Every structure is written in structure tokens, then in C-alpha cells.
């Protein structure tokens, strides 16, 4: 039940009146009451009783809403997941509500990025003030620009400042830093510095591609030394502004710290040893199950095995994501162009995964609707040009905890934070494997593919891939979701703390094991949530070597991995092994 | 007008007693305040939605508890929803029973759950009756040309 009140631009002159609020609650009584209350505040209200519907609405009308209020307990999707989605995709302030005011829950809300957590019964006065969250966000962005501009003008001749030390800052750049990279693209951040409340900032959608660039830049700079300007310059995205990067960086940091916390909790989950995935079971993708077992076995080891011989060890351990797919809305499958599908090979073929990637270069639109994938029960990876991806695992145990490996390439940090990707891929442990032939070279996992393509895994073309080497090598895979042997869809993160070891810290420390947890902050609801968790790939040079690579992990089928991986599970990327 | 005054007084007394007895709390007053000329039947509409939800949830719980193998998670989910709903209208007693109900669900205590279900049904029925009486009083006042007194 969606009640549309019509979309109009905010009446900025009357701010906060006209604030466009989207309310999501499965309780129809509350929905009615909240709608009434918000209307009394002169807000424009849209109600929605399903989280998926809400996401659809938000995606359909970018910039159509100013703030989202959502209940925590909803039947179709966990409120926290919705919260993360909104934060990542739309960068809107989200207020959580619940009748349960337990501190733990509230904390969880805040951790997931909620700007407020209201307890039911909610009073009018609490709703009256929600506009402050919208205003605050704008102010911060404005401040960021202003301060940057201010600094620029003051320090124009200085060097050494973190903001300007990358040489990009020269006299040529004027103080309108907020606009210097603008072009006509409506995705740009048109920041009107003069009047935050009247600024209608076009929200930047952090596509996979964009996020890949971001992560690459962050890794190149070094997480500790990172700063918005440096990142921005490295990214070389003309229309992106510093404040976009700054706010994204902030979220990224929060995300990492959250991961770290979870990792800390799951200290014992280290060591994902990937044994020969010959034992296939009927689990979604033999490899999946296999890897899961492996992980289970090795969970206590605290060591990751990676094959080091110049091949990418892709240890994709897709934990049972049966339930993970639920996070994916069930929209229609996107057209092939934008469709990302991962085919999970049948058990007998567990070792090889036909992955064809549909690489629609440049066609990856900002938001790939996750919704479009939910209907598919299987994740279909279509590898273009990669008929068979063999996956062998040979890796040396890596002590996750005490990594002394230094990443040969510091740049190898590819954060496949699906969180930052447009969630579009639904990965489900469907046992059926369908091969898709990619139409273009390279692989397109909607959410990830661009990222990979441009970013770290230059798999799009052999030469490219080779040249890059590294695709994975150069990338630090952010352990987004650690897969846990429990394969829980719900709490993927805590469960998957195996990967937690592969936290960004590891990555940044040059630790070899990278957990590539795509999507997966929540283990659910994120594109690859369903399972792509530890992405372990040392080097992708031979796409055929990746049996069940979570599609989004690769850009082009160039993997040289002699490792087994279960794309559905998680990927652990051992950076150290990246030659 | 005397009749109207009388009815209004009756209304106020009745309303106050509901609060005093702890059947309704301040939330209900808030709802009454929300009612305006744009939505003159706001409170009645909200109450109707509440009754619908309640009945559905109670039925769900009853069905779940009747099973051989009781799915306590499901029962708990329904109770949680009921708790949320009851907080929307200010149904204090119902909410309180829900709190106890949830403990029994967690403990997977079927007997306890059944008892709570009985209690919640009772409280709900009581509330429904009282609200219907209240609404009837309102209607009578309006029909007689009077206005509903605002109770602070």
C-alpha cells in the first residue's frame, strides 16, 4: 500500500515545511497515525508498508525524498538492512522506529547509520524536529566544501598539506572547489554554498564502478593518509566533488569500523581453508557447500590458505545464503544490459563455473536495482569468454591474525563493499547453473562489475588484465561479510567474522587475506549478500580458473586462479599473494 | 443544550475513567488531538484499523499455539506486532500483557503463552467495548449539535 502524495520539489523557501518524508511501517495503524502527524507538521508524506516497495520508490525517484522513517521490524526486510541500503544508495537520513527500545537495538540502529531512533509511541513533537537531520546533512556538506575552499585559497602555495599534497592542487584550481568538477551531468553535486536549505543537491549515486575507483584511490593513498581531495584526484571523475567523496569516505570509515568490531567478535573464525571442492553436495553449488565445509573446518585455524603461485586464489566461500537472497527485492530482471547474473554451477561441475559477464561498459547505470535480481533464484555469473573456470585451491595457510605479509602492492585493496555498490545482484544458492554468454567482454556484475572493470580487476581484456596484474592484487578486498559456517542469512556479518580477520585493517596492513565480502554488510539484502563473502583471490589472470567467482568480483574473465571458490560463499583475497 | 452538556459531561467522565483504569493512556489523547476538520473521524478510523490488526494477530497466535510443534518465533513475532499496534492507540493493558507474553515465548512455555493469549483476548475485548461506547457517546453529542470536549 503506497500512498503517493505526489512528488514535488521541496518548498525550500518554507523549509522545513514541505519536507518530503517516506514512512515505512508494516503496521497500518502506525502508518496512518504517522502520516497524520507528519502532515500536521506540513511535511509531504508518502507511506509504504513494505521495505521493498520503499526501496523501489526511492530508486525510482532519486531526489524525490528528503528523509526516510522506517520501522525496525518488518516482514519482508529487516529495517536495518533497509537503512543501510538507503544510506548507501541514496544517502538520505534515515530514522528508525520501534516499540522495542532495548539499548542493543538502538545501538545497532546507530551503527547501521540511523540518524535517530524513535521509540513508539511516537509523539508529534518528535516528528516536528526531524527536519534537523536533513538540514544537518546539508550543512555538513556545505561546510566541507567551504572549508576545503577556504583551505585551498589559504594554502594554495603550501605543500605538504594532506589536502593538496598530491600535486593536483595548483593555482589553476580556483576556490570554487565545489564546482570545479562539475559538468552538466545531473548526477553532480550542485552545491549551492550560499544556502544549504535551498540547495537541491543532486545525490551522487555510488555505483560499483565509482566505488571501485574510490576504494582504489583510498588504497593507493593508504587508508591512514587518506583525505577527500587526494581520493578525488586519484579517482579522476570529473563530475564528482570533494564533498561527495568526503561524505562517502565518512560512511566508508563507519562501515569499516563496524566490520572491524564484528571481526573482533569473531576472532576465532579465522582460517578459511579451502579444501578441494570435490565433495560436492547438493547445496547450492557444490563449491559453495564445499567451501563452507572447508571454512568450518578451518575456522579454528586462524589461517587462510592461499595459493601463492601467481595465481589468484579465489576462495569464494558462499555461505548458505539461502536466506540471504531475501534481501533482494523481487523486481523484474533487468534487461541483459544491466543484468548481472551469477550462475552457480551444479554440483558436478562445481569446480568450474561458467561465468560470463555481461559487460555493458558504460551502461551500468547508477543504480542497478537489486530488485531486479531477486526474482532469480540463482546467481548467474556470466563470464564472458570464460568457458570454464577452474578453481583449484592451493594456498598456503596464512595467519590472519599475525600477518606479516606485506602486500606487495599496497594498492591491492579493493573494497568490494557492496554496501557502496548498487545492490543489484541477488545471489542465491540455486543449484541450477545456467550459463550466460556475455555479450561483451568483461563481466558485468551489475553492482560490482563496473567496479571491477575500472578498478582493480581489469579483467575486461586479457591485455588489460595482464597489464594490471592485479586486478586483485591491486585490490584490497574489503571483507564485507565474513562467511561463517553457519551460513546464516540474517546475521551474516557476525557470522562471517571469519572474514573479519580480513578486515580492512588487514588489507591496509598489507595482510594477505582479504575478505571480499561483497555486499554484504548485512549478509542479506545486499546484492551479493547472499553469499559472496570472503573473496579470496590472489590474482585473476585466468578467468577460467574461477569457478564460482562471485561475479561481481571480476570484471573480466581473467583469472588465473588455481583455487576453488564458491562464489556464493565468500571471497577471501589474500593480498599477500598477489604478486 | 442541557442534554448536550449532559452528554458532554458523560463523555468526559467516561474518557477520564478509561485513563484512570489504565485501559487507555496518553497516546489516545494524542490521537484525539490529531483529529481535525481534515480528518474528522480520525480516531474512529485508527481504532478500526487497530481492531482489525488485533483480531488478525490474535488469530495467528491462537493458530500457532494450537500446533503440535509450536513455532514460538512466529508467536513471538505476532506478539511483538501486537505490542506495536497497541502502543499506537494507547492500549496499555494489551501492551502489558504482550510484554509478559513475549517472555513466555522466549521461554517456549506453551501454557504460559496460552494464558497470555487468553488475557490478551480479554483485554482486547474489553478495550473494544469501551471504545465503541466512547465513540457512540461522541456520535450522540455531535448528532445533538454539540462538540466533543477536549480532554487534557
Structure confidence by residue, pLDDT tens digits, A501-539:
434 444 344 333 334 333 333 434 333 333 333 344 344
The predicted pLDDT at position A203 comes to: 67
The predicted pLDDT at position B119 comes to: 94
Mean pLDDT, residues B3-16 taken together? 90
Q: Is residue A492 within a helix (H) or strand (E), and if so which, with residue range?
A: helix A492-495
Give yes or no for A100 touching B (CB within 8 A): yes
CA distance A574 to A552: 17
Kindly report which listed range (A16-25, A60-69, A456-465, B97-106) carries the lowest average pLDDT score.
Answer: A456-465
Kindly report which listed range (A70-84, A182-196, B57-71) carries the lowest average pLDDT score.
Answer: A182-196
B46: closest CA of chain A, how far (Å): 6
Mean pLDDT, residues A348-370 taken together? 38
The predicted pLDDT at position A138 comes to: 84
In chain A, whose CA is at the least distance from the CA of B82?
A: A27
The predicted pLDDT at position A453 comes to: 41
**Residue of A47, A120, A121, A323 best to disrupt the B interface, most CBs of B under 10 A:** A121
Q: Are A2 and A57 contacting, i.e. CB atoms less than 8 angstroms apart?
A: yes
Cβ contact A29–B89 (<8 Å): yes
CA distance B44 to B51: 10
- pLDDT averaged over every residue in chain A: 57
For residue A40, which residues of chain B lie inside 8 Å, CB to CB? Answer: 34, 36
Cβ contact B53–A37 (<8 Å): no
Query: Contacts by A438-441 with C-beta closer than 8 Å and gap 24+?
Result: A438/A356, A438/A357, A438/A358, A438/A359, A438/A382, A438/A383, A438/A384, A438/A385, A439/A336, A439/A358, A439/A359, A439/A360, A439/A384, A440/A357, A440/A358, A440/A359, A440/A360, A440/A361, A440/A384, A441/A357, A441/A359, A441/A384, A441/A385, A441/A556
Q: Are A569 and A429 contacting, i.e. CB atoms less than 8 angstroms apart?
A: no
Mean pLDDT, residues A160-178 taken together? 42
Q: What residue ranges do the domains of chain A occupy?
A: 20-148, 208-266
pLDDT in tens, A317-354: 333 333 333 333 333 433 334 333 334 444 444 343 33
Convert A449-466 to b/e letters by CB count within 10 Å (16 or more is b): bbbbbbbbbbbbbbebbe
Burial of residue A154 (CB within 10 Å: 0-12, 13-18, 19+) is: exposed
For residue A124, which residues of chain B lie inside 8 Å, CB to CB? Answer: 30, 33-34
The predicted pLDDT at position A13 comes to: 67
Question: Alpha carbon A412 to chain centroid distance?
Answer: 17
Fold classification of A20-148 is Rossmann fold (3.40.50)
User: Positive or negative CA dihedral for A297, A299, A302, A303?
Assistant: positive
For residue A29, which residues of chain B lie inside 8 Å, CB to CB? Answer: 46, 49-50, 53, 85, 88-89
Fold classification of A208-266 is Arc Repressor Mutant, subunit A (1.10.10)
The predicted pLDDT at position A36 comes to: 94
For residue B51, which residues of chain A lie inside 8 Å, CB to CB? Answer: none
The predicted pLDDT at position A548 comes to: 45
Give yes or no for A99 touching B (CB within 8 A): yes
Tell whether the model's pLDDT for residue A431 goes beyond 70: no
pLDDT in tens, A447-491: 343 444 444 433 334 443 333 333 334 444 343 333 333 333 343
CA distance B137 to A184: 63
Mean pLDDT, residues A197-224 taken together? 73
B2: closest CA of chain A, how far (Å): 34
For residue B81, which residues of chain A lie inside 8 Å, CB to CB? Answer: 26-27, 73
SS3 A9: coil
Give yes or no for A29 touching B (CB within 8 A): yes
Q: State the pairing for strand pair A2-3/A44-48.
A: antiparallel
The predicted pLDDT at position A205 comes to: 74
Distances (CA, A) of A494 to A107, A487, B139: 15, 11, 55
Cβ contact B49–A29 (<8 Å): yes
Tell whether the model's pLDDT for residue A91 goes beyond 90: no
Tell whether the model's pLDDT for residue A407 goes beyond 90: no
Most confident of A216-220, A361-365, B9-13: B9-13
Cβ contact B84–A36 (<8 Å): no
- For chain B, domains (ranges, CATH) are 1-144 (1.20.120.160)
A171: closest CA of chain B, how far (Å): 59
Q: Are A457 and A471 contacting, i.e. CB atoms less than 8 angstroms apart?
A: yes
SS3 A460: coil
CA distance A415 to A60: 27
Most confident of A51-65, A145-159, A419-433: A51-65
CA distance A67 to A79: 15
Cβ contact A28–B27 (<8 Å): no
Give yes or no for A37 touching B (CB within 8 A): yes
Higher pLDDT, A489 or B97: B97
Report residue A511 as a C-alpha cell. Answer: 595482510
For residue A36, which residues of chain B lie inside 8 Å, CB to CB? Answer: 34, 39, 42
Q: Are A482 and A502 contacting, i.e. CB atoms less than 8 angstroms apart?
A: yes
A417: closest CA of chain B, how far (Å): 31
pLDDT in tens, A263-319: 777 765 554 444 444 444 434 333 333 433 433 444 334 333 333 343 333 333 333
Cβ contact A100–B81 (<8 Å): no
SS3 A47: strand
Cβ contact B30–A40 (<8 Å): no
For residue B80, which residues of chain A lie inside 8 Å, CB to CB? Answer: 73, 99-100
SS3 B21: coil
Cβ contact A33–B83 (<8 Å): no
- pLDDT averaged over every residue in chain B: 91
**Residue of B81, B88, B99, B128 best to disrupt the A interface, most CBs of A under 10 A:** B88
Interface confidence, given as ipTM, is 0.93
Kindly report which listed range (A77-86, A171-180, B5-14) carries the lowest average pLDDT score.
Answer: A171-180
Report residue B36 as a C-alpha cell. Answer: 481535525
Tell whether the model's pLDDT for residue A180 goes beyond 60: no
CB pairs < 8 Å spanning A and B = 56
Kindly report which listed range (A11-15, A87-91, A128-132, A428-432) carries the lowest average pLDDT score.
Answer: A428-432
Mean pLDDT, residues B129-133 taken together? 94
Give yes or no for A128 touching B (CB within 8 A): no
Give yes or no for A101 touching B (CB within 8 A): no
Cβ contact B84–A99 (<8 Å): yes
DSSP string, A85-148: HIIIII---EEEEES---HHHHHHHHHTT-SEEEESSPPHHHHHTTHHHHHHHHHHHHHHHHHH
Give yes or no for A136 touching B (CB within 8 A): no
The predicted pLDDT at position A148 comes to: 64
CA distance A47 to A24: 6
Q: How confident is the model at residue A365 (pLDDT cuts 50, 70, 90)?
A: very low
SS3 A554: coil
pLDDT in tens, B39-86: 889 999 999 999 999 999 999 999 999 988 889 999 999 999 999 999
Tell whether the model's pLDDT for residue A401 goes beyond 50: no
B2-20 vs B110-143: helix crossing angle, rounded to 10: 160
Give yes or no for A126 touching B (CB within 8 A): no
Give yes or no for B48 touching A (CB within 8 A): no
For residue B52, which residues of chain A lie inside 8 Å, CB to CB? Answer: 28
- Cell numbers 566490520 correspond to A259
Give yes or no for A3 touching B (CB within 8 A): no
The predicted pLDDT at position A241 comes to: 83
Task: Calculate what percentage of chain A has a pLDDT beyond 90.
Answer: 12
CA distance A72 to A80: 6
A242-265 vs A131-154: helix crossing angle, rounded to 10: 110
A48 contacts: CB under 8 Å, gap ≥ 6: A1, A2, A3, A22, A23, A24, A54, A57
Report residue A459 as a C-alpha cell. Answer: 579483467
Amino acid at each position: 500500500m503506497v500512498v503517493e502524495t505526489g512528488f514535488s520539489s521541496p518548498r525550500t523557501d518554507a523549509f522545513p515545511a514541505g519536507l518530503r518524508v517516506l514512512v515505512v511501517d508494516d503496521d497500518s495503524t502506525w502508518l496512518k497515525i504517522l502520516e497524520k502527524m507528519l502532515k500536521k507538521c506540513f511535511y509531504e508524506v508518502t507511506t509504504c508498508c513494505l521495505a521493498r516497495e520503499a526501496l523501489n520508490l526511492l530508486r525510482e525517484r532519486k531526489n524525490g525524498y528528503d528523509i526516510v522513517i522506517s520501522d525496525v521490524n518488518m516482514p519482508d526486510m529487516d529495517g536495518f538492512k533497509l537503512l543501510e541500503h538507503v544510506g548507501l544508495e541514496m544517502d538520505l537520513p534515515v530514522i528508525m522506529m520501534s516499540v522495542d527500545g532495548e539499548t542493543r537495538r538502538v545501538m545497532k540502529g546507530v551503527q547501521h547509520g540511523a540518524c535517530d531512533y524513535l521509540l513508539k509511541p511516537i509523539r508529534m513533537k518528535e516528528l516536528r524536529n526531524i527536519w534537523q537531520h536533513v538540514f544537518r546533512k546539508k550543512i555538513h556538506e556545505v561546510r566541507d566544501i567551504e572549508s576545503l575552499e577556504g583551505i585551498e585559497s589559504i594554502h594554495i602555495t603550501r605543500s605538504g598539506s594532506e589536502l593538496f599534497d598530491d600535486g593536483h592542487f595548483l593555482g589553476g584550481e580556483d576556490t570554487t572547489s565545489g564546482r570545479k568538477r562539475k559538468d552538466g551531468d545531473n548526477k553532480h553535486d550542485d552545491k549551492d554554498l550560499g544556502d544549504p536549505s535551498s540547495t537541491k543537491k543532486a545525490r551522487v549515486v555510488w555505483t560499483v564502478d565509482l566505488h571501485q575507483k574510490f576504494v582504489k584511490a583510498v588504497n593507493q593513498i593508504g587508508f591512514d593518509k587518506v583525505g577527500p581531495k587526494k581520493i578525488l584526484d586519484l579517482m579522476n571523475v570529473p563530475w564528482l566533488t570533494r564533498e561527495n567523496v568526503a561524505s562517502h569516505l565518512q560512511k566508508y570509515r563507519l562501515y569499516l569500523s563496524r566490520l572491524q568490531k564484528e571481526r573482533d567478535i569473531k576472532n576465532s573464525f579465522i582460517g578459511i581453508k579451502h579444501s578441494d571442492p570435490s565433495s560436492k553436495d547438493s547445496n547450492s553449488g557444490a563449491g559453495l557447500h564445499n567451501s563452507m565445509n572447508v571454512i568450518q573446518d578451518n575456522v579454528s585455524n586462524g589461517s587462510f590458505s592461499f595459493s601463492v603461485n601467481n595465481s589468484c586464489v579465489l576462495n569464494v566461500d558462499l555461505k548458505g545464503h539461502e536466506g540471504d537472497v531475501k534481501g533482494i527485492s523481487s523486481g523484474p530482471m533487468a534487461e541483459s544490459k544491466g543484468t548481472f547474473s551469477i550462475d552457480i554451477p551444479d554440483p558436478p561441475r562445481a569446480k568450474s563455473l561458467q561465468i560470463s559477464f555481461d559487460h555493458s561498459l558504460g551502461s551500468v547505470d547508477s543504480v542497478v536495482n537489486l530488485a531486479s535480481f531477486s526474482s532469480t533464484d540463482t546467481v548467474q555469473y556470466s563470464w564472458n569468454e570464460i568457458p570454464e573456470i577452474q578453481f583449484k585451491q592451493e594456498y598456503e595457510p596464512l595467519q590472519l591474525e599475525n600477518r606479516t605479509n606485506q602486500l606487495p602492492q599496497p594498492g591491492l585493496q579493493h573494497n568490494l563493499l557492496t554496501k557502496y555498490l548498487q545492490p543489484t545482484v541477488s545471489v542465491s544458492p540455486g543449484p541450477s547453473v545456467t550459463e550466460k554468454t556475455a555479450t561483451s567482454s568483461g563481466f558485468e556484475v551489475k553492482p560490482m562489475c563496473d567496479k571491477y572493470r575500472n578498478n582493480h580487476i581489469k579483467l575486461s581484456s586479457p591485455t588489460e588484465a595482464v597489464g594490471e596484474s592485479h586486478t586483485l592484487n591491486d585490490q584490497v578486498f574489503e571483507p564485507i561479510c565474513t562467511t561463517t559456517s553457519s551460513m546464516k542469512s540474517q546475521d551474516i556479518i557476525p557470522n562471517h567474522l571469519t572474514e573479519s580477520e580480513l578486515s580492512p585493517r588487514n588489507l591496509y596492513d598489507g595482510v594477505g587475506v582479504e575478505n571480499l565480502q561483497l555486499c554484504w554488510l548485512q549478509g542479506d539484502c545486499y546484492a551479493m549478500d547472499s553469499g559472496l563473502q570472503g573473496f579470496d583471490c590472489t590474482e585473476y589472470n585466468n578467468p577460467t580458473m574461477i569457478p564460482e567467482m562471485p561475479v561481481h568480483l571480476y570484471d573480466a574473465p581473467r583469472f588465473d586462479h588455481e583455487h576453488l571458490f564458491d562464489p556464493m560463499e565468500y571471497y577471501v583475497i589474500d593480498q599477500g599473494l598477489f604478486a | 443544550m442541557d442534554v448536550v452538556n449532559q452528554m458532554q459531561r458523560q463523555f468526559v467522565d467516561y474518557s477520564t475513567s478509561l485513563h484512570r483504569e489504565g485501559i487507555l493512556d496518553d497516546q489516545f489523547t494524542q490521537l484525539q488531538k490529531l483529529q481535525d476538520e481534515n480528518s474528522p473521524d480520525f480516531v474512529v478510523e485508527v481504532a478500526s484499523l487497530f481492531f482489525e490488526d488485533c483480531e488478525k494477530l490474535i488469530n495467528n497466535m491462537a493458530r500457532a499455539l494450537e500446533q503440535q510443534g509450536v513455532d514460538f518465533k512466529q508467536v513471538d513475532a505476532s506478539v511483538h506486532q501486537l505490542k506495536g499496534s497497541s502502543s499506537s492507540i494507547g492500549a496499555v493493558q494489551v501492551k502489558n500483557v504482550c510484554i509478559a507474553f513475549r517472555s513466555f515465548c522466549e521461554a517456549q512455555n506453551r501454557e504460559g503463552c496460552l494464558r497470555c493469549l487468553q488475557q490478551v483476548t480479554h483485554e482486547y475485548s474489553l478495550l473494544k467495548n469501551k471504545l465503541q461506547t466512547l465513540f457512540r457517546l461522541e456520535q450522540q453529542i455531535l448528532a445533538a449539535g454539540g462538540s466533543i470536549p477536549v480532554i487534557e
